[in-house]
Every structure is written in structure tokens, then in C-alpha cells.
Structure 1
Amino acid sequence: MLILEALKQQTDFTTTEKRIADYILANLPTLANSYIKELAAATYTSHSAIIRLAQKLGYHGFRDFQHTLTVAATAQAQALTAVDANFPFQVDDTAATIAKKLAAVTVTAIQTAHAQLDTAQLTATAKLLAHADRIFLFSHGDSQLRARSFQNKLVKINKFAIIAEEYSDDAWNAANLSPNDCAIFISYTGTTTTHQQFATYFQAHQIPTVLLTGNAQSPLIPLTTQQLISVQRETDFAKVGTFASQAAFEYLLDTLFSLLYVQDYRHNLSNLQQNQDLMQHGPLQTK
């Protein structure tokens, strides 16, 4: 739903573009079947004004602009009927009710993340990681658990990632990165001061970086090479847990791992079979 955030913020919009944006936000469910001439007539503007707005937001023309709006409208409708991600259960809920609500939070978080996916950014990110000699994962708290999960999966394709902030070695690890490596910042708020410090250094030294965040206005965005952004209906502090954001991050990292796997699918599959044989029937058998 990043497109909706851009339409709400209206940064650098002209008066005409603000009128178009306001109309779109007020009539989002009807836009899927609207023609550009109908939108122009309803906003008292022109075809060219609408196309200029679409291009200002990063779209080639009205068709892909309209498609993204339709996806965002669907995600928004789902979110309005979804369980509150911050407090998904109440004191008198039964076990069955809590289980159902938590399932709904997870499903909605993944659907929302999918609706916001920029496949071009996703593909470019996978290529960065595929060519990196080393991958350094910068993350704190719950997000570091997602980093460890990603680290564990990468071992299966013979790539080894480093948890950069383990044992407070973040500055040492940052100093050792080279342009042949890649740093991944995983932060829902995307405002960690040390991450900004490191990202600034990496950018100055042409070291590739990736950002996973839930903050479309994160100060890390202009400092990083690629960004995967998943805005969830989750607050920073007033919540039971980080259910939605972490489900979204796990989904994005699993998708990245899958893209890395298919880049050399046959080799990875052959390697999997050989290693499993070593561990189950060969000299590496431990059970």
C-alpha cells in the first residue's frame, strides 16, 4: 500500500495532482473498472495530468498505475476487516478463538506484504545476494530472529551469512565489508541510528546494501541500494507482540531465498541430494 501512502502525503504534488489524488483515495474501490477519461472528467483534469501523476509516482502509464491501485484497494479492504495486529486477542477469548485470530493476523500480514511487493526490487536484491562474497545481516531483537532463520536457509545452498551485530561486533564487521559483499538491514521502524551510520559509510564506499523495513519514510531508504518495504497495521510500541511485521519479514526473506535457489536450481538440488546422502548414510551420519 505504498502507493496509498504517497497519494496521502502528496509530496511535491501540484494543485491538480492533489485533486486527482484526493479523488482516487475517496473512490478507491471503483477505480478497477474506470477508464482514464472517466477519471479525468471526475477530477476536472486531463489525460496528460493523470499520466504525469502516475509517472511522478514511478509508473510508466495509467494501466500499471491503475493495476497497483486495484491491488492496494484489495489489501486495504482486507485490512479493514482483519484482526487488530497489535492486540489480536482479548482476555475472555477461548483457545480456539485465539488460534483463529493469530492465523488471520499471519495470513493478512503476508497478503499485505505480497500486495506491496516490487518484483523489480526483489529480483535485483536476489542478484545482489547471489553475487556477494559475504552477506552481513544487521538487525536487533525480533528481527534478528528472522535474520538467523535466513542465515540457516542460506547454508542449504552453500552461502554463509554473518549476524553482524552478534557479540556487539557490529562496528568491526562493518569495517570489514568490501564492495564484493552485501549488507542487509532488517528493521521494521528503519530508524536505528547505528544502521544509518553504517549505511552512510557503505554508500560512500560503494558497498551494496539491502533494506527490509515497514517504514515507507525510513531515513535508510536513500542510503541503501535496494529496498523491500512492507507497511503493516502494527504500531511501534503499543502492542502485544510483533506478529504482523515478523510474519511479513519471514515471508520476504523466504521469497528471497527461493529466488536465490532457482538461480542455480539443478546444482542446488543435486547438492541437496549429495549432502543428505552423506548425512543419512555416509561418513557424516550422526544418528
Structure 2
Amino acid sequence: MNAQFSKRIAEHKLTLSNSEQYLLAYIEEHLDEMPEISIVKLSEQANVSTATIVRTMKKLGYEGFTSFKHHLKEEEEHNPRFAIMEQVDQKIREAIIKNEQEVTRTIQMLDSGTIEDAIQKIKASKKIIIFARGFSELIAKEMMIKFQLMGKSCELHDDPNIIRSISKKISPDDIVIFISLNGETPELVEAAKNCQHNKVSSITFTANAEGLLAQLSELAFVGYKSSISYFPDYEVRSRLPLQVMSRILLDSYAIRIK
């Protein structure tokens, strides 16, 4: 919620009619949509006249609805949606919102208990083994380096045959981290079954709660993956939710060990 906007409403509340108060309540509930919306569209969605919108804005000290949006952008200059939304076309807006949703909804889906349990398991392990394939390898490499910088023994494997082989020999004192967007990569699933059979703890980062990896692992970090893909002919979907979750775990781990 925008603090300045709420303050203006409070200051002028006694001068507002019921329809004006209703309009402002609607705007507050949909504040993030205001950069994209026209006065006509707001009139339709809030079921008030455009005259009511203009009159309400003037009571709050704005020259009109457009003036209100300009002030809102200035007050929320650190919000990237307000900074660039009016500068791009509809398709690019959709791409921006897609990425915003993947980050926001992934964070909302995180469970503090899962984070804490993962930290404790990693701390107690002698070594971390990370298994990843495809674009997920980039996230895995970052995790490996950061764990190593924090003094933790950590190794990464991305070759299918090596993953299958090593997963049979991992000590129960170690812990395995799987990174897979769809949670169904065959060699990773096989490795997870080997870990489960040998009582090796495992953590999965995925965007598929129903995937085999999530089901086979002790702990699962599940993020939100948008259904929209701008590369439909290729399996190159964004790993943004996996990156968000892995960084949150790394930051949390760093905090705990200090």
C-alpha cells in the first residue's frame, strides 16, 4: 500500500461521499494495476463514472486521474512496474508481469519450516552433492561456489551417467540437492531413488510439486512457473523460480552459520 496515498485519503475522508470512498477503496485494493489502466477502464471496473473519478482525485489534491498516476509513480519510483510500464507496449508489459509473478508467487509459496530444516540438514552433513541438468546447471554452479566460499565441502555433477553412478555410492552422512524445473528428469529421478534406498537425505528445488523428484526427496522447495513461454519450440523455460529459492536458502544458510 502507498503510504502517501493513504495519508491523503485520511486527511480528506470527511469531505468524501460514499461513492468516492468506495472508489478509493477499490483503487487501494488494485493499486499495482493503476499504472496500466485508463480512466475509462477504471470507471468500468469500479462501476463509477469518470466524473466521480476526476472529482475524487481533485478532492485529494490531484489535477485529475493522470496527475494521480504521475504522482503515484514518483512516490513509488523504486517499483519497476511504475517506472517503465507506460514506456513499453502490451506484449512487453506481459513479459514484465510474467517475471514479477514468478518471483512474487514463488516467495509466497515458500515455507519457513522447510528453509530451517534444510539449513540444519546442510549444516549437519559432511558434504553436499548437487545434481542438475540443462539450464539448471547454472544455478547449481552458483550454489556450489557459494557453499564452498562458506567453508562447506560441495561438488556438482551434471553428466547423466556420472549422476547415476555416484548416486549409488553417496554416504548417509552427506546430503544431495536436486535442481530440476519439471522434477521428472530421468537420471535425476533414478538418483533420487538410489538416495532414498541408501537413506541419504535429499533436497529438491523444482516448480512441479507433483513431480517424482519432489515426492522422493525429504524436503522440496516448490516455486511458481508461469504457463507462458516465449520459446515454445524449445525446452528453455525460465529457471527464475529455482534461482529465487536457491538464493533465499543460500542467504539463510549464511545468516545461520554466522
Please tell me the TM-score bracket, short chain as reference: 0.5 to 0.7
Map of 2:232 onto structure 1? 238
Map of 1:264 onto structure 2? 257
Match of 1:162 among 133, 155, 161: 155
Q: Which whole-Å CA distance do the structure 2 matches of 1:234 and 1:161 have between them?
A: 33
Equivalent residue of 1:216, what SS?
coil
Q: Which whole-Å CA distance do the structure 2 matches of 1:201 and 1:172 have between them?
A: 10
Alpha carbons of 1:106 and 1:153: their partners in 2 closer, same or farther (altered >3 Å)?
Answer: farther
Q: Which whole-Å CA distance do the structure 2 matches of 1:257 and 1:219 have between them?
A: 24
Deviation of 1:101 after TM superposition, in Å, equals 5.5
Deviation of 1:167 after TM superposition, in Å, equals 8.1
Deviation of 1:256 after TM superposition, in Å, equals 0.6
Alpha carbons of 1:104 and 1:149: their partners in 2 closer, same or farther (altered >3 Å)?
Answer: farther
TM-score after normalising by structure 1: 0.53
The 5-angstrom pairing of residues 103-252 of structure 1 reads 103-166=96-159, 168-234=161-227, 238=232, 241-243=236-238, 246-252=239-245
Contact 1:216/1:231 (8 A) holds in 2:
no
Alpha carbons of 1:239 and 1:118: their partners in 2 closer, same or farther (altered >3 Å)?
Answer: farther
Deviation of 1:184 after TM superposition, in Å, equals 1.0
Deviation of 1:239 after TM superposition, in Å, equals 6.3
Deviation of 1:109 after TM superposition, in Å, equals 1.2
Contact 2:207/2:241 (8 A) holds in 1:
no
Deviations 1:78-106 (A, max 9, x none): 9xx9xxxxxxxxxxxxx965876654433
Contact 2:164/2:190 (8 A) holds in 1:
no
Q: Which whole-Å CA distance do the structure 2 matches of 1:211 and 1:164 have between them?
A: 15
Q: Which whole-Å CA distance do the structure 2 matches of 1:197 and 1:161 have between them?
A: 21
Q: Which whole-Å CA distance do the structure 2 matches of 1:232 and 1:239 have between them?
A: 17
Deviation of 1:147 after TM superposition, in Å, equals 0.6
Alpha carbons of 1:106 and 1:225: their partners in 2 closer, same or farther (altered >3 Å)?
Answer: same
What amino acid is aligned across from residue 153 of structure 1 in structure 2? K
Equivalent residue of 1:175, what SS?
coil
Count of aligned pairs: 173
Equivalent residue of 1:176, what SS?
coil
Equivalent residue of 2:220, what SS?
strand
Q: Which whole-Å CA distance do the structure 2 matches of 1:219 and 1:168 have between them?
A: 19
Q: Which whole-Å CA distance do the structure 2 matches of 1:212 and 1:235 have between them?
A: 20
Map of 2:11 onto structure 1? none
Deviation of 1:242 after TM superposition, in Å, equals 2.1
Equivalent residue of 1:242, what SS?
coil
What amino acid is aligned across from residue 167 of structure 2 in structure 1? A
Alpha carbons of 1:197 and 1:233: their partners in 2 closer, same or farther (altered >3 Å)?
Answer: same
What amino acid is aligned across from residue 237 of structure 2 in structure 1? T
What amino acid is aligned across from residue 238 of structure 1 in structure 2? P
Percent identical residues: 16
TM-score after normalising by structure 2: 0.59
Equivalent residue of 2:167, what SS?
helix
Equivalent residue of 2:177, what SS?
strand
Question: Greater Rg, structure 1 or structure 2?
Answer: 2
Q: Which whole-Å CA distance do the structure 2 matches of 1:135 and 1:145 have between them?
A: 17
User: Any stretches of 5+ residues in structure 2 without a counterpart?
Assistant: 1-28, 37-86
Contact 2:163/2:188 (8 A) holds in 1:
no
Contact 1:117/1:228 (8 A) holds in 2:
yes
